[in-house]
C-alpha cells in the first residue's frame, strides 16, 4: 500500500527534524548548489529513508535537505529519479508525494534541457508554461493511485499562473532574461536523432528533457501548486547538430545556476 509507505517515509523524516516545510524544491542535473544555501540544514540520504526508491550507483549522492531559505522552511531534493535509470513512474514521483505529506504548499522544479526553439540559446533559462508527455506512461496509471484523489486530473493549466507571473516580474526586475515555452519529456537516456528533433519542433516543443513532467502530473493530482524552469544546456538544431556530451551539459547548467537560484530565492520571498 503506497499510502502506508509514504507515512513511514514521512515519520522517519519528521524524527530527523523535517518540521512542516512550506516549500519543496527539486534540483535538476548540474543544479545542486542551492542546497548549500539552506540555513541550519538537516540531511537525509535517499537510501536511509524507509521506502524511498533504492538509489543506484550513479545516484549515491541523492539526498533531501531541510532547513530555511529566505526565512521559509524548505525541503530540497538534491538529485531526482529518472525512468532512464530503470525506475518506474511511481518511483520517480514518490518523493513529491512524500514532500506533500510533509506539508509543502508549493513545489518548484528545475531541470537541464535541450533547446528545440532555436531562438533560445545555451545558458538561457526557460520558464515552462506547458508540457507534452512523451514518456509513454503516466504516474497516475497505477493501482492504488485513486486513494490520493480522482485520477482524471485536469491538465488545462498545470503550471501555477500566479507563481509564473511572479517569476516573470522578478526576472524583469533583476535583469535576468527569461524565455518561456513548452517542455517535452522523453525517456532517454540517449539523446535525440535529427529526425526526432524535427518532430519535436513540429509538435510544438521549445525544449526537451528527461524529467519534470511526471512530477508535475503528480503535483496536479495532489492540487499542489507547481512551477518549473529549464536551464537550456544545448541547442538542438537538426540541420547543424553538434555532438553533446554530458560533461558540457553539466558545466552549462552549473554556470547558469546563480540566475536560477536568484529567481527561486526571490520567488520564496514573494510568497
Map the footprint of ligand HPA across residues 166-195, applying CB under 6 A.
186, 188, 191-192
Q: Candidates 21, 53, 114, 158: give the one binding ligand HPA (CB under 6 A).
A: 114
Whether 92 contacts 83, CB under 8 Å:
yes
Nearer to ligand HPA, 90 or 112 (CB): 112
90, 113, 222, 261: which one binds ligand HPA (CB under 6 A): 113
Determine the Cα–Cα distance for residues 148 and 143; give it in Å rounded to an integer. Answer: 11
The single residue among 69, 99, 236, 261 that binds ligand HPA, judged by CB under 6 A, is 236
Residue 23: CB minimum distance to ligand HPA, A: 25
Q: What is the distance of C-alpha 181 from the center of its chain?
A: 16
Q: C-alpha grid cell for residue 21?
A: 516545510
74/117 with CB nearer ligand HPA = 117
What minimum distance in Å lies between the beta carbon of 265 and ligand HPA?
24
Q: Candidates 160, 206, 234, 257: give the one binding ligand HPA (CB under 6 A).
A: 234
Stretch that binds ligand HPA, among 132-140, 152-160, 175-183, 233-241 (CB under 6 A): 233-241
Q: Which of residues 53-112 bind ligand HPA (CB under 6 A)?
A: 112
Count residues contacting ligand HPA (CB under 6 A)?
14
**How large is the greatest C-alpha to C-alpha distance in the chain, in angstroms?**
55
The nearer residue to ligand HPA, 118 or 271, going by C-beta atoms, is 118
Q: Are 167 and 240 in contact (CB under 8 A)?
A: no
Residue (24 or 209) nearer to ligand HPA, CB: 209
Q: Is 228 in the site for ligand HPA (CB under 6 A)?
A: no
Closest distance to ligand HPA from the beta carbon of 104 (Å): 26
> Contacts by 41-47 with C-beta closer than 8 Å and gap 24+?
41/65, 41/66, 41/67, 42/16, 42/17, 42/18, 42/66, 42/67, 44/12, 44/13, 44/16, 44/18, 46/79
Which of 205, 208, 228, 267 binds ligand HPA (CB under 6 A)? It is 208
Which range in 33-41, 99-107, 157-165, 206-214 contacts ligand HPA by CB under 6 A? 206-214
From candidates 249, 252, 260, 268, binder to ligand HPA by CB under 6 A: 249
**Cell numbers that stand for 202 in this block:** 513540429
Binding site for ligand HPA (CB under 6 A): 112-114, 186, 188, 191-192, 208-210, 233-234, 236, 249
Amino acid at each position: 500500500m503506497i499510502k502506508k509507505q509514504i507515512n513511514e517515509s514521512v515519520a522517519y523524516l519528521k524524527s530527523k527534524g523535517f518540521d512542516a516545510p512550506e516549500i519543496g524544491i527539486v534540483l535538476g542535473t548540474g543544479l545542486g548548489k542551492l542546497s548549500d544555501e539552506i540555513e541550519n540544514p538537516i540531511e537525509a540520504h535517499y537510501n536511509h529513508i524507509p521506502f524511498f526508491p533504492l538509489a543506484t550507483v550513479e545516484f549515491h549522492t541523492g539526498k533531501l535537505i531541510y532547513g530555511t531559505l529566505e526565512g521559509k522552511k524548505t525541503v530540497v531534493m538534491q538529485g531526482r529519479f529518472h525512468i532512464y535509470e530503470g525506475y518506474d513512474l511511481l518511483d520517480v514521483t514518490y518523493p513529491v508525494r512524500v514532500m506533500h505529506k510533509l506539508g509543502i504548499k508549493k513545489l518548484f522544479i528545475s531541470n537541464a534541457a535541450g533547446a528545440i526553439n532555436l531562438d533560445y540559446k545555451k545558458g538561457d533559462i526557460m520558464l515552462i508554461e506547458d508540457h507534452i508527455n512523451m514518456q509513454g506512461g503516466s504516474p497516475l496509471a497505477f493501482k492504488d493511485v485513486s486513494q490520493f484523489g480522482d485520477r482524471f486530473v485536469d491538465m488545462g493549466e498545470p503550471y501555477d499562473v500566479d507563481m509564473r507571473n511572479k517569476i516573470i516580474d522578478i526576472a524583469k526586475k533583476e535583469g535576468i532574461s527569461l524565455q518561456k515555452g513548452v517542455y517535452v519529456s522523453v525517456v532517454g537516456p540517449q539523446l535525440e536523432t535529427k529526425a526526432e528533433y524535427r518532430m519535436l519542433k513540429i509538435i510544438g516543443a521549445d525544449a526537451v528533457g528527461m524529467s519534470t513532467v511526471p512530477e508535475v502530473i503528480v503535483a496536479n493530482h495532489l492540487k499542489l501548486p507547481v512551477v518549473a524552469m529549464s536551464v537550456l544546456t544545448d541547442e538542438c538544431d537538426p540541420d547543424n547538430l553538434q555532438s553533446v556530451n554530458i560533461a558540457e551539459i553539466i558545466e552549462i547548467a552549473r554556470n547558469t545556476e546563480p540566475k536560477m537560484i536568484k529567481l527561486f530565492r526571490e520567488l520564496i520571498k514573494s510568497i
